[in-house]
Amino acid sequence: MQRVSSLDAGMLYAETPEMPMHTMGVLILERPARSLFAGLRRDIGKRIHLVAPFRRRLVEGPLRLGDPHWLEDPDFSLDNHLHRAALPAPGGRRELAEFVGEVAGRLLDRSLPLWEMHLVEGLSDGNVALVVKVHHAAMDGGRLVAMMNTLLDLAPRGHRRVVPEREWTPDQPPSLAWFALDTSRALAAKPFSAWRALADIGATLLRSRDAGSGEPGLQLDAGAHSAGLFEAPPTPFNGALSRQRSVAMADVAFADVKAIRNAFGTTVNDVVLAACGGALRDWLLGHGGLPERALIASVPVTVRSAAAGADDAGNRVSMIFAELALQDADPVQRLLAIHAQTARAKERHGHGKGDVFRQATDLLTSITVPWLLTQVIELYSRSHLGEQLPPLWNLVISNLPGPQKPLYCAGARVLRLYPFGPVQLNSGLNLTVMSSAGRLCLGAMGCKRMVPDIESIADGFRCEIRALKKRALLRTRAG
């Protein structure tokens, strides 16, 4: 068995019916000559030994006082995880988005390994969709991409020779006596863990201040103004979450994104943030107007070391914060402003020489027990305090590097790969992008009550890339 890390455990404790904490991917597969389901089941079965999170389920002690563990499931069966579905007519993008939204709104069964796949047929163009759902505690976005590389092939008849380095061996569930001993040890260690987490946070904030990054800690550098906690402006997509999810997908040529980057001397991530900001600007103008202050986007960044092993599938992420100033109507000026601001934010993050996000999670899990933290989160959700309190940030925007070579699933080519991240407390919108085989794919996930027309944000993303591309061409021609 393997103890769940504090960051992964925090995602488990924070999960409620209104806030499922799973990540998702939607793969569009080229029209197959025959049904893919049998081939998909065969391929996953042959490679399951290479994907540890797919075999492991959670075990928790009585009263949920101690730390949860991952157990190699002695009752593992692919039948519990692989499903088949057909879209209703006409089987278009809207019907697919509705299906994905329904899957996204359901919690994963914690008595099983925390993942599932749905092979979706009935698309109007004859293609097939594969909807993949994995709990964030089991895999972060980077590991999810690595998992797809393991399960998919590089050729349509990819008979890759898969030789296990070691056979996986199911665990026996621990006894009540084992749980009692483990829980007593975990509770005894909590005060020391809390002091260590406090010391780590203090040291990180002091290093950040000494490095010249201004105010220490969780503030966002934006030139003359530093936005602090609870300074994110209210928007229609901030508030108490519902259990329903709205979903939209869009994609653009990755070559266009790189052309914009090169023309204006920015980064791909800056272009992504600017395109998301432009889409949100248009959406907000149609939903009550722009806020007086810049939006604050939480941007996950990986802190996983290159030496991390294949079984180290949990989360190794931190956060930086980006301000999206939307008042300027010029998309290029917004792009350049984002570039300057994110450069400072990344410098501040690097100066800290630590991970306050993880350290704060360590502290939180050290001063409470699982059931109590879960009850607090559920009470917050049911009380609708999210409607009264300002958000820590307005939305999450994540950029994942995806597989750059063509991939095949059970012989069918993967045409598109749309990623999706969870919406979080008081923040009902998540925009995640992934570059894959020449395309930049956007997956937009929202609280359906707050963002029922999320497809307009996805459309706005495409429009913003087109507008920036035109300006990039003009700049390149002008020399």
Question: Are 460 and 451 within 8 A, CB to CB?
Answer: no
Q: How far is CA 248 from the centre of its chain?
A: 15
Q: What is the pLDDT of residue 253?
A: 98
* Percent residues over pLDDT 70 in the chain: 79
- What average pLDDT does the chain have? 84
What does DSSP assign to residue 397? Answer: E
Active-site residue identified among 136, 159, 287, 384:
136
Other Cβ atoms within 10 Å of 183 Cβ, number? 19
Q: What is the pLDDT of residue 404?
A: 84
How many CA atoms lie within 13 Å of 307's alpha carbon, on the beta-carbon side?
A: 0
The token duo for 320 is: 């930086």
Task: Please report which confidence band the pLDDT of residue 352 belongs to, taking 50, 70 and 90 as the band edges.
Answer: very low
**CA pair distance 331, 461, nearest whole angstrom:** 12
Paired strand residues for 56: 72
Task: Please report which confidence band the pLDDT of residue 194 belongs to, taking 50, 70 and 90 as the band edges.
Answer: low
The token duo for 352 is: 């800290």
Mean pLDDT of 462-469: 98
**CA pair distance 116, 55, nearest whole angstrom:** 12
How many CA atoms lie within 13 Å of 365's alpha carbon, on the beta-carbon side?
A: 23
Domains of the chain plus CATH, in order, are: 2-162 (3.30.559.10), 193-402+419-478 (3.30.559.30)
Judged on CB neighbours under 10 Å (0-12, 13-18, 19+), 293 is middle
pLDDT tens per residue across span 25-78 = 999 999 987 889 999 999 999 899 999 999 999 998 776 677 789 999 999 999
Residue 241, helix vs strand vs coil: coil
For the chain, the farthest-separated pair of C-alpha atoms sits apart, in whole angstroms, at 75
Task: Please report which confidence band the pLDDT of residue 349 belongs to, taking 50, 70 and 90 as the band edges.
Answer: low
How many CA atoms lie within 13 Å of 200's alpha carbon, on the beta-carbon side?
A: 17
Other Cβ atoms within 10 Å of 201 Cβ, number? 19
Q: Give the least confident one: 273-277, 315-319, 327-331, 413-417.
A: 315-319
| Between residues 145 and 465, the one the model is more confident about | 465
The token duo for 19 is: 């806030």
Amino acid present at 391: P
Residue 137, by phi and psi: left (phi above 0), alpha (psi -120 to 50) or beta? Answer: alpha
**CA pair distance 226, 232, nearest whole angstrom:** 12
Q: What is the pLDDT of residue 397?
A: 97
**Helix spans in 152-299 (H):** 176-210, 254-264, 268-285
Tell me whether residue 225 is one of the annotated catalytic residues: no
| Pick from 210, 275, 329: nearest CA to 463 | 275
Q: What is the pLDDT of residue 333?
A: 97
Task: Please report which confidence band the pLDDT of residue 226 belongs to, taking 50, 70 and 90 as the band edges.
Answer: very low
List the helix and strand counts (H, then E) for the chain: 11, 17
Mean pLDDT of 285-309: 80
Task: Please report which confidence band the pLDDT of residue 365 belongs to, taking 50, 70 and 90 as the band edges.
Answer: low
